[in-house]
Amino acid sequence: MSNSNAAPWYETWFDSPHYHTLYGHRSQGEASNFIQTLHDVLQWDTLELLDLACGKGRHAAAASKLGHKVVGIDLSPNSIHQARTDHEEGEGLSFLQGDMRDFTLNTRFDGVLNLFTSFGYFEQPKDQLQVLKQVKAHLQPGGFFILDFLNLGHARAKMVALETIERGSTKYHIERYYGPLNPNMEGFVKTISFEADGQQHRHSERVAGLDKSQLYSMLKEAGFSVQSCFGDYDLSPWHPVESPRLILNAIAS
């Protein structure tokens, strides 16, 4: 049974090849469409951008192809290796391994992106806030932060409790529930169980249940002012239940 108590879930699961197998259907095309929409709707000029928790670099590469200079950072060495394999690094695109709570770069960016629910993983609220403070510390005055999070009301209403997904010869059995993550926090727990290489494996994903008002409050405490709020990757207006996403455009004060 692979279930380590020595490291947080996101260190082991995000660095597992099975994480990339399970979620490998996410396409470069959908990432490129989202970045193009952000570029057009928010009227970006040529910018220096940081893609925080960049995964395999889909969004970072898409932004680079639009002429932006992009740095992608992710905690997972496996993801960074794959990003460098999939996308050619150069003057306009680079990838680094690092923790979103304590990374230090000798530059300030025009904008920081945190996409596809790459926030809310930590056990303590102070760690979530520390991420936002790190973002602000790496922004130019007046720089922007795009936070793409799940929409709590929609996610709870549409949550599928039990599901089996086949990827090749592997069946991933998924259980989901919403409840206490610790004495201080509620959120979503997704448990993924599967058999591979003659062994049973079990991993869990845990994401804090942060609603719009909580995120606004955290951003304000970190020194941001929310300028706009969108409900999907087409940047449609946000609705508390119908919108699948909560995408915030915040400006550093």
Looking at the structure, do residues 146 and 218 belong to the same domain, yes or no?
yes
In 75-132, the DSSP E strands lie at: 93-97, 109-114
Confirm whether 1 is domain-assigned.
Answer: no
What six digits make up the tokens of 4? 């380590």
Range of the domain at 188: 155-206
Q: What is the CA 194 to chain-centroid distance, rounded? A: 24
Confirm whether 169 is domain-assigned.
Answer: yes
**So what's the pLDDT on residue 197?**
87
Helix (H, G, I), strand (E, B) or coil at 4: coil
Adjacent-strand bridge partners of 177: 189
Do the Cβ atoms of 113 and 50 come closer than 8 Å?
yes
Distance CA 39, CA 32 (A): 10
| Span 116-127, pLDDT tens digits | 999 999 988 999
What six digits make up the tokens of 114? 């945190």
| Span 190-228, pLDDT tens digits | 999 999 989 999 999 999 999 999 999 999 999 999 999
Distance CA 197, CA 201 (A): 10
| pLDDT class of 6 with cuts at 50, 70, 90 | low
Q: Which helix (H) or strand (E) is 181 found in, with range? A: strand 170-182
pLDDT, mean of residues 144-172: 97
**So what's the pLDDT on residue 20?**
82
What six digits make up the tokens of 52? 């925080």
| Span 230-240, pLDDT tens digits | 999 999 999 99
pLDDT, mean of residues 161-185: 95
| pLDDT class of 4 with cuts at 50, 70, 90 | very low
What CATH number has the domain bearing residue 103? 3.40.50.150
The answer, yes or no, to whether residue 5 has pLDDT greater than 90, is no
Q: CB burial class (10 A; 0-12, 13-18, 19+) of residue 10?
A: buried
Do the Cβ atoms of 146 and 135 come closer than 8 Å?
no
pLDDT, mean of residues 172-186: 94
Adjacent-strand bridge partners of 174: 163, 192
**So what's the pLDDT on residue 56?**
93
| pLDDT class of 184 with cuts at 50, 70, 90 | confident
Question: 110, 106, 128: which is closest to 119 by C-alpha?
Answer: 128
Domain count of the fold of the chain: 2
| Span 11-67, pLDDT tens digits | 999 889 899 889 876 678 899 999 999 999 999 999 999 999 999 999 999 999 999
Looking at the structure, do residues 108 and 197 belong to the same domain, yes or no?
no
Looking at the structure, do residues 107 and 216 belong to the same domain, yes or no?
yes
| Span 132-152, pLDDT tens digits | 999 999 999 999 999 999 999
Looking at the structure, do residues 236 and 146 belong to the same domain, yes or no?
yes
Looking at the structure, do residues 92 and 193 belong to the same domain, yes or no?
no
| pLDDT class of 159 with cuts at 50, 70, 90 | very high
| pLDDT class of 3 with cuts at 50, 70, 90 | very low
Looking at the structure, do residues 76 and 182 belong to the same domain, yes or no?
no
Looking at the structure, do residues 196 and 234 belong to the same domain, yes or no?
no
Q: Which residues contact 2 (CB under 8 A, 6 or more apart)?
A: 199, 200, 201, 202, 203
Q: Which amino acid is at 215?
A: L
Last residue of a domain, one of 170, 191, 206: 206
